[in-house]
Amino acid sequence: MTTSHSLHPINLSVIKTACSNCNLRELCLPLGLTHEELERLDDLISTRRRVKRGEHLYRSGTAFDAIYAIRSGFFKTDVLLEDGREQVTGFQMAGELLGLDGIGTELHTCNAIALEDSEICSIPFSRLESLSREIHTLQHHFHKVMSREIVRDHGVMMLLGTMRAEERLAAFLLNLSQRFTARGFSHAEFYLRMTREEIGSYLGLKLETVSRAFSKFQEEGFIAVQQKHIRILDVAGLKALMNHHA
């Protein structure tokens, strides 16, 4: 019998995942490893798992035992505030890692929910640590990945502390654009997997404010919006908004 709190959905697919053949390897952990080291990492990442849209990959308060590389799909992380509201803490896409929030306390401190049907590679953390001690390239890269997460979190805090609503939304769209570009997708055209409300929660803005900023960007010719489909028409214009702030 499974419960909604189960970390292993019924459709758990235990499939051998070859990191060496994965087209995301440049973005994920195995950067710069030798063929032999990659094979050892292949043995470590032994499970792939599908997570359906709306399902939890993990919940706040559950035991931390693995980090997860997103192979395909899109996730959000959130925490429950004391007043019962959900605060979105991040959006993660293919080639990025989930689960780092549990390293310090050995308990997950947020929830991770799939925003579309997704697939992840599960990396047992204790085995990753011992392999990292033997393969220094892996340890170095893992530290870089963690540092990137910290810097990104710091960037968001700076964003929320000092920017006006339109600047926050411009920064958010440009950040998504850069991340899609790194994955070989169009920098100017993408589909938002998250709702306007979730964007607002992440950026510290009310839903109406987010909607107003989207409308204003469309009126000013920065973007074309069709529900969740976004086309950036004027990258320079969005960047100028940011530079004006700086």
pLDDT digits (tens, 9 = 90+) for 76-92: 999 988 888 889 999 99
The DSSP H or E segment spanning 125 is: helix 125-134
Asked if the model's pLDDT at residue 206 lies above 60, the reply is yes
In degrees and rounded to multiples of 5, residue 180 shows phi and psi of -65, -40
pLDDT value of position 34 = 66
Is the pLDDT reported for residue 244 higher than 70?
no
Mean pLDDT (the chain, rounded): 81
Q: Which CATH superfamily is domain 19-139 in?
A: Jelly Rolls (2.60.120.10)
pLDDT at 123: 83
Residue with the bigger pLDDT between 244 and 135: it is 135
Domain boundaries, the chain: 19-139, 163-245
Classify domain 163-245 at the CATH class level: mainly alpha
Q: Which residue has the higher pLDDT, 2 or 147?
A: 147
Please provide the DSSP assignment of 39-75 as one string.
HHHHHH--EEEEE-TT-EEE-TTSBP-EEEEEEESEE
pLDDT surpasses 60 at 24: no
- Amino acid at site 52: K
Q: What's the pLDDT at 181? A: 86
* CB 78 within 8 Å of CB 87: yes
Distance CA 14, CA 20 (A): 18
Look at residue 127 and give its three-state secondary structure.
Answer: helix
Of 19 and 52, the one with more pLDDT: 52
